[in-house]
Amino acid sequence: MPRKPRPEGTRAPNGASSIYFSEADGYWHGRVTVGTRDDGRPDRRHVQAKTEAEVTEKVRKLERARDDGNVRKPGKAWTVEKWLTHWVENIAAATVRPTTMVGYRASVYKHLIPGVGKHRLDRLQPEHLERLYARMQQNGLKAATAHLAHRTARVALNEAKRRKYITENPAKVAKPPRVDEEEIVPFTVDEARRILDAAAEMRNGARFIIALTLGLRRGEALGLKWSDMVVMWKHGCPAKSACRKACRAEKCEQRRGSGTLTIRRAIQQQVWKHGCSDEKPCGHRYGAHCPQRHSGGVVVTDVKSRAGRRTVGLPHPVVVALEEHRAHQQIERETARNEWEEGGWIFTNRWGRPVHPTVDFDAWKALLRAANVRDARLHDARHTAATMLLVLKVPLPAVMEIMGWSDTSVAKRYMHVPHELVTAIADQVSDMMWPDAERDENGMAPDVAAIFRRNEELRQVLQQVMAILPEELRRQLDQLDDEEEGDDPTAA
């Protein structure tokens, strides 16, 4: 049914939508007021269609989007290329870590812009992204690379939606390729002990003892300073020994140490950037080869997250290992003399500077070979530490504090159920569901009860023990004994 014409001499109220037919182009047009522009003028959006029904539906759709607050900002729409470039250089670069930016820039400039950059931002569809991921894999790239591009697009388009340049994020709808996660097997107790023994014999070995027992990230461990460690010593000798009177606890030969380690910073290896200008390029492909390179190499950064700034406890063996490491470092300091650069770092190279992450990686691989342990990532030591806390039944809030996690979902990736724990749980289920029928009424196995009854010497010892028990406990045992047949003390 055609739309009824408005009575002559009347007008639509301010802000109302309008639909009309234009004989100039033969199209039906609709205009909807969705808000106010920055200069104060009404923001009127235009739609058109061949028929009145089609344009009416478009007008109603635009009105619903206006009422839901899902109308994009006025002005010329961004292209995907323009938005991604603006996002990665002006928004992401100021808020994320440099190592994260390496992945973002690779996804934006190598894959997303060449693949979907020409689309208008508000017309990008999930299918466009899915076809891009498929082409990437057809060109020989791994599914993980396509998955990284998908995550980058999702973050960038989320920001565009938050700023109302688009109303929906197509990357949330698009299906990324499946990535088969590599199974991580934490070190067994035997493997961990062999690594600890081998680490005690190598330079900077305490660094890997910390990795296995405390689960520190690589950058966190390399960023430790002696000022971050607090140690408290206690005497290990008897209470009234001459040692306690003659010397302080830290001088006791049987001393016991405990302490804390505060994680405040991290060491990272950042990619070098070109320092040459576009007018006079150096000609090298990588920034590391540029004569005017900058902002790269080993740098000191903040910890990964707010939860990463934490304090962890030090067991006595770790305290001993760190003190032995301190003594070895003093010898190296005296040997290097003027070449030593004092920075207070716990783990250094032979000139006092922080350990390079690549050197640390090589040392880890050498340690595994020396310990005759299977090859594994250094990060697997962190998985091992988290699994150890699971076996020790440490509450999850305490685990998150020790490991520096801010999200409980991370625990599922790091805490693995070892074989020993699986078998122990099975034994507990067995004892509960199928109790041992081969026990007497006192809860004692028959063969053990028979030994007590046959061994006269053991009976006498038990009677002597009962004689020296406190009176109240002896009275309770006598009552139990009176309830049993005979005078057998093993019954009670």
Catalytically annotated residues: 217, 273, 379, 382, 405, 414
Angle, in degrees to the nearest 10, between helices 456-467 and 446-454: 90
Distance from C-alpha of 348 to C-alpha of 359, rounded to nearest angstrom = 11
Residues 286 and 232 sit within 8 Å (Cβ to Cβ): no
Distance in Å from the first CA to the final CA of the chain: 99
Q: Which of 137, 205, 208 is nearest to 176 (CA)?
A: 137
From residue 476, how far is each of 62, 468, 470, 490 by CA, in Å? 85, 14, 10, 14
Residues 72 and 122 sit within 8 Å (Cβ to Cβ): yes
Handedness of CA 390, 391, 393, 398 (dihedral sign): negative
Distance from C-alpha of 385 to C-alpha of 214, rounded to nearest angstrom = 6
Angle, in degrees to the nearest 10, between helices 456-467 and 471-483: 130
Q: Which of 295, 350, 333, 312 is nearest to 221 (CA)?
A: 312
Q: At 117, list the tokens.
A: 């950059």
What is the per-residue burial (b if ≥16 Cβ within 10 Å, else e) of 49-81?
Answer: beebeebbebbeebbebbeeeebbeeeeebbbb
